[in-house]
């Protein structure tokens, strides 16, 4: 989508959504959860947050056309964090989405970058974790994203200027899918955090079953057994993890687990759960000093597998209730 078309398109979509919001308000007389009303208002609100961030990008471009300002990246990071905060406030107000911590969150060594390896499951987990790291840990999230997300002009403009990494869904023979991750890790500043999801895709029971079937069909019985042993997560892929640690052996590492939304893997399940007032997004973190993280690929793989087993067991205890 051309960037200048997006505000006009947002205005048109708002006009189309207005009758839906009105219908949703009346439907709330029958549906005490007021799901249609909540979701339609939230959707319009998030859309205009997105437009506002895009317009802030334009303002910064006009202010510094040559993009040579010493604060160029910092200014865009501030726009990103402000947009995340507005979206989280809206989500809490309209659908009851609330982030809670299970235990103390250690932010890593002062003056050293941080790499976070997180579970990937449920709606909105990447945004929630980026918000948590930015506003609670005081770290600027650097995110690895799918190339397809560039259809959103705001994502394309803002996150590109923040040096995020976009990974294409398909690469040619010989292409290194970790190149962007390596560059992102290499460029980490002392107050940055690189957020990576080693599973590579959102967990769902169906994806777990399909992965097990594919591994068995490929004759990879050991990997299939490993996937079978995990009920709430997918086995972590290690290429990106090893690339990050290889580039930044000086970085502390945070392992991030979360529970409460992992079983909501279909639109119907998400719809039925709205509002999420009795289902907090519960997050548990453990941070390890750089010296305590292995540096050999085989050791890194074993280390990560051990932590993913711990995450899987913790999620099994907390997924249903979302409470500690």
What would the two tokens of residue 42 be? Answer: 């939230």
What pLDDT band is residue 88 in, cutting at 50, 70 and 90?
A: very high
In contact, 322 and 259? CB cutoff 8 Å: yes
What end-to-end distance do the CA atoms of the chain give, in Å? 43
Beta bridge partners of 284: 257
CATH number of 96-324: 3.40.1130
What pLDDT band is residue 320 in, cutting at 50, 70 and 90?
A: low
Alpha carbon of residue 269 to chain centroid: 20
How does pLDDT run across 4-44, given as a tens digit for each residue?
A: 788 999 999 999 999 999 999 999 989 999 999 999 999 99
pLDDT of residue 321: 44
pLDDT of residue 173: 41
SS3 assignment, position 284: strand
Q: What is the mean pLDDT of residues 61-67?
A: 89
Under DSSP, the state recorded for 196 is E
Which class for 61: exposed (0-12), middle (13-18), buried (19 or more C-beta within 10 A)?
Answer: middle
Residue 34 sits at φ, ψ, to 5 deg, of 50, 45
pTM above 0.85, yes or no: yes
Q: What is the mean pLDDT of residues 136-154?
A: 84
What pLDDT band is residue 76 in, cutting at 50, 70 and 90?
A: very high
- Radius of gyration of the chain, Cα coordinates, nearest whole angstrom: 21
Give the separation between CA 254 and CA 194, rounded to whole angstroms.
Answer: 10
Give the separation between CA 304 and CA 310, rounded to whole angstroms.
Answer: 10
Q: What is the largest CA-CA distance in the chain?
A: 61
CB atoms inside a 10 Å sphere around CB 59: 12
The Cα angle at residue 156 between residues 153 and 158, in degrees rounded to 5:
100
Q: What is the mean pLDDT of residues 224-239?
A: 94
Give the separation between CA 96 and CA 278, rounded to whole angstroms.
Answer: 8
Give the separation between CA 285 and CA 289, rounded to whole angstroms.
Answer: 13
pLDDT of residue 324: 35
- Which is more confidently placed, 49 or 147? 49
What pLDDT band is residue 79 in, cutting at 50, 70 and 90?
A: very high
Give the separation between CA 31 and CA 54, rounded to whole angstroms.
Answer: 35
- Which is more confidently placed, 162 or 228? 228
Give the separation between CA 40 and CA 250, rounded to whole angstroms.
Answer: 45
How does pLDDT run across 151-201, given as a tens digit for each residue?
A: 889 988 898 888 887 777 665 544 567 888 898 999 898 889 999 999 988
């Amino acid at each position: 989508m051309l960037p200048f078309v997006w505000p006009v398109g947002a205005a048109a979509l708002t006009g189309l959504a207005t009758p839906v919001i009105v219908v949703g308000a009346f439907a709330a007389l029958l549906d005490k959860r007021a799901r249609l009303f909540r979701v339609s208002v939230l959707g319009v609100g998030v859309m205009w947050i997105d437009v506002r961030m895009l317009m802030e990008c334009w303002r910064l471009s006009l202010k510094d056309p040559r993009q040579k300002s010493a604060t160029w990246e910092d200014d865009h990071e501030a726009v990103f964090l402000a947009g995340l905060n507005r979206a989280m406030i809206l989500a809490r107000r309209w659908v009851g989405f609330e982030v809670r911590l299970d235990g103390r969150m250690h932010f890593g060594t002062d003056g050293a970058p941080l790499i976070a390896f997180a579970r990937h499951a449920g709606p909105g987990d990447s945004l929630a974790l980026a918000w948590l790291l930015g506003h609670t840990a005081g770290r600027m999230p650097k995110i690895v994203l799918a190339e397809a997300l560039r259809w959103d002009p705001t994502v394309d403009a803002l996150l590109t200027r923040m040096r995020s990494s976009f990974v294409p869904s398909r690469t040619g023979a010989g292409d290194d899918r970790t190149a962007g991750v390596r560059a992102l890790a290499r460029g980490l500043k002392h107050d940055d955090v690189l957020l990576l999801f080693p599973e590579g895709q959102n967990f769902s029971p169906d994806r777990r079953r399909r992965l097990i079937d594919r591994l068995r069909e490929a004759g990879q019985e050991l990997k299939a057994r490993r996937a079978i042993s995990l009920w709430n997560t997918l086995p972590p892929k290690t290429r990106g993890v090893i690339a990050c640690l290889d580039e930044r052996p000086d970085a502390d590492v945070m392992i991030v687990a979360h529970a409460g939304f992992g079983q909501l893997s279909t639109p119907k399940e998400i719809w039925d759960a709205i509002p999420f007032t009795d289902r907090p997004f519960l997050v548990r973190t453990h941070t390890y000093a750089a010296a305590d993280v292995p540096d050999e690929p085989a050791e890194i793989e074993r280390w990560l597998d051990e932590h993913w087993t711990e995450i899987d067991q913790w999620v099994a205890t907390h997924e249903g209730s979302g409470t500690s």
